[in-house]
Structure 1
């Protein structure tokens, strides 16, 4: 993503209450500057979110900032500063209207900054593969993290994994029988039975994880 213009989403009618999670922020405990900090760059090189002022949005005005997604407190402070500069008086409500640098991982409109920061750290560590595993687990970050504890590696196919696993188990297969073993079927059975699951990152690039 190279354009700093946010994608437009309809604001939901029901927002979290003041002081709750995403959507609104209580008054800061310390004096807050309204000066605009250096905005994040939505180039995709580093996780960033576009946080929009909903009071402005609902008045037909685009007002918001791109913010680096590394730290929840920094995102919260940057959002407060953005709201303080809103052209609409007493602006308090916000939503995430765009994101970049998450390698395809989804960020929801009203996701908490803590969750956004956790996902950003996960993606920065594991890249596109991390995003695909996160998608496999329905955006459950805990399950996605646990999956990498049972990562078996990258293979061209499940058949290659099945053959390697057979060899590593010490099974002695006579040379005359090797061409009759259907490793592709073995691999399919392992996946169907839940012994493994796969994530494909490219042509002939299959990442295999042990199932639970």
Structure 2
């Protein structure tokens, strides 16, 4: 029977320990690599899921934005069509009123059933025209004209004799001006209402 020396025992033990350490290191390295690959696969899957979710959300948002834009365009087109219709109606009504100006400003009946007579001459002074224009906000430089009457009158400062001179404006001129002004006001009101309707729908 051979006797082992303490040196050979130590040497064998050192080899066994080295083998254990190497074996543990190899197992740790293998386990680390396996764990890293598993974690990386989980991370890649989570990242892929997040990208898919974000892409789906972006597509949904884009579709909703497109639908909202289309709805706004439809509302704006409907409002515009209504506005154009109202303006055309206003223009038709203005033309009908304009056609009646000569009839209602040249003759009248003094009583029901009486024969028509020429309307008496109506004088509007330069001062009256000045104040009429001032009431409408017409700048002082254009006193002497209305929107439909281009005749220039003498300067009619308040308190002067000139303000009592005849302006040359006739009842027909005033009626025509009121019709033009009314068309402008009604069209502006229609535009304002169309704008308010659009804001309420939004």
The alignment's TM-score, normalised by the length of structure 2, stands at 0.22
Greater RCO, CA 8 A, separation 6+: 2
Bigger fraction of residues in helix: 2
Q: Which structure's CA Rg is the greater one?
A: 2
Q: Which has the higher strand share?
A: 1
Question: How does the TM-score come out when normalised to structure 1?
Answer: 0.21
